[in-house]
Structure 1
Amino acid sequence: MSSSGGGGAGQQFRYTQTPSKVLHLRNLPWECTEEELVELCKPFGRIVNTKSGVGANRNQAFVEFTDVNQAISMVSYFASSSEPAQIRGKTVYIQYSNRQEIINNKSPGETAGNVLLVTIEGVQASDVTIDVIHLVFSAFGFVHKIATFEKAAGFQALIQYTDAPTASAAREALDGRSIPRYLLPDHVVSCHLRISFSAHKDLNIKFQSHRSRDYTNPYLPVNSSAIDSTLQPAVGADGRRVEAEGNVLLASIENMQYAVSVDVLHTVFSAFGTVQKIAIFEKNGGTQALIQYPDASTATIAKEALEGHCIYDGGYCS
């Protein structure tokens, strides 16, 4: 009786290896992020360390769980599953590592680069918004991109600057410091920043959302599933949108001959009052936006003034 396993599973796993709490992942997408590794592995247990970009093609990684049983559960799950482990549609091959822990050859994050890895200690992910992070780190230079995620180490963010000197200046000034209290909710007692350099050079941001931003691309689509719940219009029991007056407008933009960015909408809707939040997204093949005012009366005035009108002359973007 063969012990090699059948079909794709036999190629994906080596059953003869001694189990280890460190798993070796192969055939990863190019520049696979630490966040993507954690997303794949975290259903099986707590991850204490990762090491990505391993191998000549930088398409391998190591992931270390708290204990060996968590690693065994992940290997066992995908060994018996009809669906292989995947990241970005690529099949990922998983096996036990020969090592029992991940040891970084050099002090992690000491090689200066243009991307910072920031661990925000003492807070939950919901306590610190991406806008607050942007405000704090923009004091040292233009922030290109931000990606936030949760890991065993806590709430973390990757922050991309133009170059290593700018990132170094920000790290020098902020490492070990706290985010100002007035930018945080009242219940947060302390909030310390622990900052190192990331091996990343260019973050891969696919959507603007409450977890990630690309400040170099105003036309990047907004991930509608990630829109702040306070920006969601009310829905009645019949599933239809409730037309009761509220402080959030839902705008459908028709005849899109020109691109409409968040900045364009902010200019148009700010004429009637302070715009607190804007989210643009695609739905049913058309472009829509949610615009939030401080109160319903301001939103009502803007709705009555702008309904049916066009952003550009010639009937464009109505």
Structure 2
Amino acid sequence: MSTSGPPQFRYTQTPSKVLHLRNLPWECIEEELIELCKPFGKIVNTKSNVGANRNQAFVEFADLNQAINMVTYYASSSEPAQVRGKTVYIQYSNRHEIVNNKGPGDVPGNVLLVTIEGVEAGDVSIDVIHLVFSAFGFVHKIATFEKAAGFQALIQFSDSETASSAREALDARSIPRYLLPDHVGSCHLRISFSAHTDLNIKFQSHRSRDYTNPYLPVNPTAIEGFVQPAVGPDGKKKEPESNVLLASIENMQYAVTVDVLNTVFSAFGTVQKIAIFEKNGGTQALIQYPDITTAAVAKDALEGHCIYDGGYCKLHLSYSRHTDLNVKAYSDKSRDYTRL
């Protein structure tokens, strides 16, 4: 079996009589799934055309051993499982049966209902939520609140396809530890679709944001350090200044660590906090200074600067909406120098 491409099997998963099949041909039909799986046992249910690209499916066997036989066979076979000539990747599902009747939370829409388990209100800021979900597309609006189920958020995307991609990637996953306070052991995202289509956000605050309307009034009692958009003499909107810089790093031929960034940015003033993260396949970082003036000096001096000779690790800088990063005091991806 070839070692290139994604792995076909996840050995660490708990066996299930439901198998998850990926990389299927576009709109693979039930008959094709049954044809692939029936040599290993009786198929009692299928669910096809799953995922944003409609190229995944679930197959449920009558007996657990039948599913194990199929996984075991292809794990040891030199010939991969195929449908219409495409290699199909197989793993055990985390579900134990297929339920085809869609509840309200399973009907795709452009607004996601996210329950953040293991945290209290205030542990996860709206900026962190925006950072996590905007990796999948433009986030229009966010509203957070507390319910009996716990701390929740409504997140509005442009369309159901973008929302589906975010849900598929993040459901049952965790927010990166370096974005969470030290006292939070772990937090998991439980995501379903909301019946809402257009959230009604009345104020920009620490509980709600409308990223499509920068001129929406700010609730001064419910937000700390939020920067309103400014207008220059020419009447054009200026980039709101902030004490936190967002650095995008291109042409990364060498590692860029927290210590490297601290060395570069501390030349212009005291660096309080740093967080490094991956977004859209690239490396980015947030660098916090004590004030806007210091951040502005660093931004002007370092825009387009290459950390290493030869044009490597080039910095592109903008102001962040963040004003006070909530990062782990000491880790590979973050540093809080105010607590060291």
TM-score, structure 1 length as denominator? 0.45
TM-score, structure 2 length as denominator? 0.43
Q: Which has the higher helix share?
A: 1
